[in-house]
Amino acid sequence: MNERLQQVTKDFGDTATASAHTFATSFQTIASAHADFAKKLMQHNSEFMSQLSSVKEPAKLIEVQSEYVKSAYETFVAESKRLAELYANLFKQTTKPFEDLIAKNKAA
């Protein structure tokens, strides 16, 4: 019984360490994705302002603004989906070691 408790304690510690490592790696990936998204937004806004400053006609102004809004929306949706997938993977990968441990202990 004492050996079993020691093994379970060791397994739990190993699992927590593996989960924490996975969390840190995944979190770093997510932080990079957020930074990339912010960089894209800044670049997109800068390009828009540059285009906007060269517009001379009201019709062209509406066209440039419409293109900007459409592009901004599409970028936001795509990046939101990508970030949601990264967060879902973070949760799955972080909890997987614990699921494996539970399955192992049920089998024992």
* pTM, two decimal places: 0.73
- Closest by CA position to 90, among listed 21, 22, 13, 32: 22
Could you give the C-alpha distances from 107 to 12, 97, 100, 102, 104, in angstroms and in order? 16, 15, 11, 9, 5
Per the model's pLDDT, the better-predicted residue between 107 and 27 turns out to be: 27
In the predicted structure, residue 108 carries a pLDDT above the cut 70: no
Please determine, for residue 105, whether its predicted confidence score (pLDDT) is greater than 80: no
Residue 8 confidence (pLDDT): 74
pLDDT digits (tens, 9 = 90+) for 44-85: 999 999 998 999 999 999 999 999 999 999 999 999 999 999
Both structure tokens of 73: 């929306």
Q: Does residue 41 carry a pLDDT above 80? A: yes
Residue 102 CA to residue 98 CA, distance in Å, equals 6
